[in-house]
Amino acid sequence: MKMFILSLFMLLFPNVVYSQACSKSKTLQIGVDPWPPFSYSSSSKLKGVSVDIIRAAFSKVGIKTDFHLLPWKRIVRNIQLGELDVLANLYYVEDIAKWVKYSLPYLKSDVKLASLKNFKRRIRSISSIQGESVAYGQGYSFGKSFDHASHFKKVEVPVTENGLKMMILGRVDLVIDSEEVLSFLIDHNTEYSSKIKILSDSLLVNEMSIGVSKKHRDRERIITCFNQGLTA
Residues whose CB falls within 8 Å of the CB of residue 13, separated by 6 or more in sequence, listed in order: none
Whole-structure pTM value: 0.85
Query: For residue range 54-65, what is the model confidence (pLDDT) as tens digits?
Result: 999 999 999 999
Return the SS3 of 174. strand
Do 12-106+207-231 and 109-206 have matching folds? yes
For the 12-106+207-231 domain, the top CATH level (class) is alpha beta
Mean pLDDT of the chain: 91
Residue 118: Cβ within 10 Å count: 7
Predicted local distance difference test score (pLDDT) of residue 8: 39
Residue 170 · residue 103 · CB < 8 Å: no
For the 109-206 domain, the top CATH level (class) is alpha beta
H runs (alpha helix) in 35-151: 49-60, 72-81, 94-97, 144-147
DSSP 191-223: HHHHHEEE-S---EEEEEEEEEETT-TTHHHHH
Query: For the chain, which residues make up each domain, given as ranges?
Result: 12-106+207-231, 109-206
Question: Does residue 21 or residue 216 have the better pLDDT?
Answer: 216
CA dist 175 and 134 (Å) reads: 5
Predicted local distance difference test score (pLDDT) of residue 1: 43
Q: What are φ and ψ of residue 138, in 5° steps?
A: -60, 130
Query: For residue range 159-205, what is the model confidence (pLDDT) as tens digits?
Result: 999 999 999 999 999 999 999 999 999 999 999 999 999 999 999 99
